[in-house]
Amino acid sequence: MTTPARCRTGVVDVLLVVGGKWHDLDFARRELLALLGDHDAVRCTVRDDFTDTDAIDQADVVIAYTCDVRPTPQQSAALTAKVHGGGRLLALHATNSAIDAPAPGEQRMFSVPDAMPEFTALIGSRFLAHPRIAPARIDVCQPQDRLVLGIESFETTDEVYVCAWAPDLDVILDTALTAQCPGFPDAGVEMGARLPVLYRRQAGAGVIVYFTLGHCRGRFDVRDMGIDDLGHTDRIAWDSPQYRAVLKRCVDWAVHGDNEGEEAA
């Protein structure tokens, strides 16, 4: 028995990039593929970095959930051309991060080099630090925005990111910095500063949406730092119904843009 189409569009080519360090990337990849699977217009190509510039060129939209994946100038140029030409880019969690871990035996201090300036210039932010994972209040800045319509300010337990921010961000969700960031250089941000959590940014004819929440870690994800097995998994950020709701809307937007009525049934 056939099933009627749910999306009133032709094919939407999606490049999903999930890769990097210190996160349960298999879990994140699975969850994002499940959300994309709600859209029968999607044809999805999956990569773990941005080296496949042909896939970038051919995609209608790029979705990235990465940590310390550093696009080269050539790869960043391909992404920039895609977005400026009218494509959509959905960046998630630590995609704006370049992080160098301390050498074995050294003080536990991570460095955050400006290692991919063309990429961070495109997406509008560069990771600098985060406090320890803890409960945080996420505030709605634009309650009429489709990505958060009907969602009130909420509490979640997640990583809150201190970043260098571009001045032209259209901030939809934000939070306050309420704790120090041990293990990172001083980012020069005062307590109480407002930190964008979800924003939109115009880039040429295209649009970028960045949602910084969504930390997850598996048992074996920090072996490079000398811990073979954490003995537990950490997916508490994904237990938030508000996070799940906003993430779904972000993926829906990535697939269909701002076209009304194109969300999956």
Note whether residue 35 is domain-resident.
yes
Beta bridge partner(s), residue 90: 63, 209
Burial of 168 per CB tally in 10 Å (0-12, 13-18, 19+): exposed
Note whether residue 261 is domain-resident.
no
Note whether residue 140 is domain-resident.
yes
Instruction: Say what the pLDDT of residue 25 is.
Output: 98
| CATH number of the CATH domain containing 194 | 3.40.50.880
Note whether residue 5 is domain-resident.
no
Strand 134-140 and strand 154-158: the pairing is antiparallel
Q: What is the pLDDT of residues 204-258, one digit of tens each?
A: 999 999 999 999 999 999 999 889 999 999 999 999 999 999 999 999 999 999 8
Structurally, the chain folds into a number of domains equal to 1
Note whether residue 147 is domain-resident.
yes
Note whether residue 220 is domain-resident.
yes
Q: Domain range spanning residue 87? A: 12-256
DSSP conformation letters of 88-122: EEEEETTTT---BPPPTTS-S--B-----HHHHHH
Q: What is the pLDDT of residues 71-84, one digit of tens each?
A: 999 999 999 999 99
Q: Are 103 and 225 in contact (CB under 8 A)?
A: no
Cβ-Cβ contacts under 8 Å for 7 (sequence gap 6 or more): 39, 40, 41, 42, 255, 256, 262, 264
Note whether residue 264 is domain-resident.
no
Low-confidence ranges of the chain (pLDDT < 70): 260-265
Note whether residue 111 is domain-resident.
yes
